Amino acid sequence: MRLPRWHAPPLLAPAAFQADTGEAAAAGALIWRTPLAASRPHWEGWYRGLSDTFLSLPVPKMLLLAGTDRLDKSLTIGQMQGKFQLVLMPAAGHAIQEDEPVKTAEHLQQFLHRFRIGEPPMVIPRAPPGVRAVLPLAAGPLFRHRQHCRSCVTSSSSSCCRGGVPAASRDAPSTSTQQR
């Protein structure tokens, strides 16, 4: 399978494209594009605190891994608490998106679809003009009462004009233990 053009460029380039066109270029050898040795002092700090930062993000998260052997303590606890979705792809190596591109795309698509990322917001259909709205049976009587009773609509309290008793306590069964 050929990867799209926008994919990250390889770190190795044919020597012919470099300034030094000696014997290496003639032999078709590859040379490093990026001087990795120069970045070595920064390697240690690349991942410091990354797991905790990942877990603290207030968004849905998915972690694609080839195995659980590299999970640190905070990621293991976070996975057990359901803070992110863990997807294991044991057939893949270090570069999961290159080793298993189809499965990676499927998992990403399912994740994005589950959380409606990139989809238009759900539209709740409204009744056309002139058509009476249908209410659930349980909400009907209270809703109709509040429609015609101004004191219930304008009141900021939970009490109703039907006896001045809050609806929740009026409808609840009596728990009084007083004896007459």
Instruction: Give the global pTM.
Output: 0.47
Q: Is 81 helix (H, G, I), strand (E, B) or coil?
A: coil
pLDDT at res. 86: 93
Q: pLDDT below 50 — which residues of the chain? A: 1, 3, 6-7, 16-17, 164-172, 174-180
| pLDDT tens for each residue of 80-133 | 999 999 999 999 888 899 999 999 999 999 998 888 877 777 777 777 888 876
**Structure token digits, residue 165:** 């008793």
Q: Which residues contact 77 (CB under 8 A, 6 or more apart)?
A: none
**What per-residue confidence (pLDDT) applies to 164?**
46
State the Cα–Cα distance between residues 161 and 148, nearest whole angstrom. Answer: 11
Contacts of 28 by beta carbon, 8 Å cutoff, 6+ apart? 14, 15, 16
Sorted by where each begins, the domain ranges of the chain are 62-117
Return phi, psi of residue 159, to 5°. -80, 155
